[in-house]
């Protein structure tokens, strides 16, 4: 097994990594097992590692000789998680095993010359969120057990999740029937695909609950954040039910390390396949909403992966494109647009806060920017911070109809069927590509978005109605039509949705009061 032990910026190599609060309020320097449980810092800041290891290209390339679970364990170990090696290895083997339908777990497939698709959807919910959420709940439960064994009196935890589609199901699947935890998910009732909704409302497990919400994803996310920041409700949870809140959204650092792992793994695989030589630089294109996935690529680059540019691909909710190109983050007058890529229908990109802290190294400025965003719905970074962002990130966006036309064109040209999120990244990658090979993060299986893929293959505009014969069909029936036409199989976890009962049908207001009321009703039984 390659040794990914490292020398950090301050010379430490064995001690567990400590974490900083992006807004500077938490000065306790917690370890991984503390931050994965807590989720976010008091005051709303996010945790970032005090130091990041720098690995040689040789060490990264050597990962190709390991099974995927060992690559993930090596990445966690390099980042100084305070979990014993033997337990970490066992947890990663459990996270990345027979629950994935491809032996490589996250294969990189060359679809066109120099354009490699990193397939991150081979897990149990057919979305890239499985790469973190088959892993993070195991680490969460292990962290609770370790801290209890060390004498800490910890409550059980209620994990709250706001989802734009894929995170909810992946988190439910990861936390279902886990010890010491319950999980509640809020999703925009009219803002996810038919398949995504069915995946969530049919979820198995005695410790899970799902609520539709009247509003968009940002409304859901703001409601969940308000619940987190409500000390009176936190006290009520503790006193009545012995619970404390945590998060499984990508604001939790425990979500990001598994994502860093698949970028390091992908580079190793490209070298092993002969697509590139060790040390060659590549560009990475990521379809981006909440900024977590592309931030993981940035951390992989910081750890030594030879990534030249990070291409940030947005849909019509293109606030990140505008920020990268202007240094101004402004949602004050920006409409929220529904798109064929609902997991990117986000205007408040929470993980951008981590990048801003990393490039400016000033928690006071970060806190001011986040306060401006909360109060004025906009902020502008200083020229030095903007220049640092622009030095690595390039942003562009794709319209709804363009994203569907890309699906049709790429399938006609290559026989490869993209989902509507990956099609956004493909189009941006084609526009911005230079001479370097490209790695495109493919974040979902096409079958999660059957209606829009059906429209794409039949040349139907996004806002146009389906023809009468197709309009009569359910989303699952449309999957069958797409599968028959393209010869592409439907994952079993999606085809079985037909036979599963709808357990969770309650719809609530997407507000703090709505979320608190829903949680009280569920917990009271």
Please tell me what DSSP assigns to residue 466. P
Query: 271 in a domain, yes or no?
Result: yes
Query: 209 in a domain, yes or no?
Result: no
pTM check: above 0.75: yes
**CA distances, 132 to each of 169, 208, 259, 349, 447 (Å):** 12, 18, 6, 18, 20
pLDDT of residue 3: 58
**CA distances, 347 to each of 217, 288, 311, 399, 440 (Å):** 9, 11, 18, 16, 22
The answer to whether the CB of 450 falls within 8 A of the CB of 419 is: no
Distance of alpha carbon 145 from alpha carbon 445, whole angstroms: 35
Query: 372 in a domain, yes or no?
Result: yes
Distance of alpha carbon 297 from alpha carbon 292, whole angstroms: 9
Helix (H, G, I), strand (E, B) or coil at 446: helix
For 276, the token pair is: 């590139």
Query: 3 in a domain, yes or no?
Result: no
Distance of alpha carbon 154 from alpha carbon 242, whole angstroms: 9
**10 Å Cβ neighbour count for 164?**
24
Exposure letters 293-319 (e unless 16+ CB within 10 A, then b): bbbbbbbbbbbbbbbebbbbbbbbbbb
Domain containing residue 321: CATH number: 3.40.50.1100
The answer to whether the CB of 401 falls within 8 A of the CB of 461 is: yes
pLDDT of residue 460: 98
Distance of alpha carbon 308 from alpha carbon 279, whole angstroms: 11
Q: Is 524 exposed, middle or buried (0-12, 13-18, 19+ CB in 10 A)?
A: exposed
Helix or strand (DSSP H, E) at 94: helix 85-95
Domain count for the chain, please give it: 1
Entry field: residues in the chain = 525
Distance of alpha carbon 157 from alpha carbon 38, whole angstroms: 10
Distance of alpha carbon 319 from alpha carbon 354, whole angstroms: 17
Nearest Cα neighbor of 128 from 136, 138, 118, 137 is: 118
pLDDT of residue 303: 98
Instruction: Point out which residues pair with 438 in neighbouring strands.
Output: 115, 283
Phi/psi of residue 22, nearest 5 degrees: -60, -20
Distance of alpha carbon 388 from alpha carbon 404, whole angstroms: 33
pLDDT of residue 4: 65
Cα-only R_g, the chain = 22
pLDDT in tens, the chain (525 residues): 455 654 333 333 468 999 999 999 999 999 999 999 999 998 899 999 999 999 999 999 999 999 999 999 999 999 999 999 999 999 999 999 999 999 999 999 999 999 999 999 999 999 999 999 999 999 999 999 999 999 987 889 999 999 988 899 999 999 999 989 999 999 999 999 899 999 999 999 999 999 999 999 899 989 998 998 899 999 999 999 999 999 888 889 999 999 999 999 999 999 999 999 999 999 999 999 999 999 999 999 999 999 999 999 999 999 999 999 999 999 999 999 999 999 999 999 999 999 999 999 999 999 999 999 999 999 999 999 999 999 999 999 999 999 999 999 999 999 999 999 999 999 999 999 999 999 999 999 999 999 999 999 999 999 999 999 999 998 899 999 999 999 999 999 999 999 999 999 999 999 999 999 999 999 998
Helix (H, G, I), strand (E, B) or coil at 193: coil
Distance of alpha carbon 136 from alpha carbon 183, whole angstroms: 13
Nearest Cα neighbor of 131 from 316, 234, 29, 266 is: 266
Helix (H, G, I), strand (E, B) or coil at 186: strand
Instruction: Point out which residues pair with 110 in neighbouring strands.
Output: 116
Query: 133 in a domain, yes or no?
Result: no
Ordered DSSP codes for 10-44: TS--SSPPBEEETTS---S--BHHHHHHH-S-TTS
pLDDT of residue 166: 86
Distance of alpha carbon 444 from alpha carbon 422, whole angstroms: 7
The residue segments making up the domain with residue 290 are 108-123+257-447
Helix (H, G, I), strand (E, B) or coil at 187: strand
Query: 114 in a domain, yes or no?
Result: yes
For 502, the token pair is: 């709808």
pLDDT of residue 506: 97
């Amino acid at each position: 097994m390659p040794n990914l032990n490292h020398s950090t910026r301050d010379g430490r190599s064995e001690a567990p990594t400590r974490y900083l609060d992006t807004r500077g309020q938490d000065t306790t320097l917690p370890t991984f097992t503390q931050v994965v449980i807590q989720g976010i810092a008091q005051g709303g800041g996010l945790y970032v590692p005090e130091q990041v290891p720098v690995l040689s290209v040789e060490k990264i390339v050597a990962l190709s000789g390991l099974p995927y679970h060992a690559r993930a364990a090596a990445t966690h170990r390099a980042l100084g998680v305070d979990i014993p090696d033997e337990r970490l290895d066992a947890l990663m083997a459990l996270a990345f095993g027979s629950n994935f339908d491809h032996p490589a777990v996250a294969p990189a497939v060359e679809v066109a010359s120099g354009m490699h698709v990193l397939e991150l959807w081979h897990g149990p919910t057919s979305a890239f969120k499985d790469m973190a959420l088959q892993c993070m709940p195991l680490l969460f439960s292990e962290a609770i057990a370790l801290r209890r064994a060390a004498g800490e009196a910890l409550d059980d935890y209620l994990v709250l999740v706001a989802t734009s589609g894929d995170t909810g199901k992946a988190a439910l699947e990861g936390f279902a029937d886990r010890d010491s935890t319950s999980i509640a998910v809020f999703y925009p009732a009219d803002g996810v695909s038919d398949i995504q909704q069915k995946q969530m409302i049919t979820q198995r497990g005695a410790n899970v609950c799902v609520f539709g919400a009247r509003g968009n994803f940002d409304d859901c996310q703001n409601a969940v954040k308000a619940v987190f920041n409500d000390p009176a409700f936190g006290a009520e949870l503790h006193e009545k039910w012995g619970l404390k809140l945590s998060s499984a959204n990508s604001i939790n650092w425990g979500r990001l390390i598994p994502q860093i792992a698949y970028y390091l793994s992908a580079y190793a695989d490209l070298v092993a396949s002969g697509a590139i030589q060790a040390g060659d630089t590549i560009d990475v294109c990521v379809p981006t909403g909440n900024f977590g996935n592309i931030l993981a690529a940035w951390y992989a680059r910081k750890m030594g992966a030879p990534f030249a540019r990070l291409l940030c691909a947005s849909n019509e909710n293109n606030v990140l494109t505008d920020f990268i190109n202007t240094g101004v983050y402004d949602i004050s007058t920006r409409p929220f647009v529904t798109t064929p890529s609902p997991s990117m229908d986000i205007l408040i990109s929470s993980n951008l806060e981590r990048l801003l802290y990393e490039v400016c190294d000033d928690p006071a400025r970060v806190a001011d920017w986040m306060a401006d965003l909360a109060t004025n719905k906009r902020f502008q970074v200083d020229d030095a911070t903007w220049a640092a962002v622009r030095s690595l990130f390039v942003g562009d966006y794709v319209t709804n109809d363009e994203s569907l036309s890309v699906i049709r064109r790429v399938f006609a040209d290559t026989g490869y069927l993209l989902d509507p999120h990956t099609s956004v990244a493909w189009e941006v990658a084609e526009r911005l590509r230079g001479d370097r090979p490209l790695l495109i993060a493919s974040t979902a299986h096409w079958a999660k978005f059957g209606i829009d893929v059906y429209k794409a293959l039949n040349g139907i505009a996004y806002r146009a109605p389906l023809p009468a014969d197709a309009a009569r069909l359910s989303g699952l029936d449309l999957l069958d039509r797409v599968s028959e036409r393209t010869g592409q199989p439907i994952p079993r976890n999606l085809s079985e949705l037909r036979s599963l009962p709808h357990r969770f049908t309650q719809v609530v207001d997407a507000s703090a009061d709505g979320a608190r009321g829903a949680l009280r009703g569920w917990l009271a039984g």
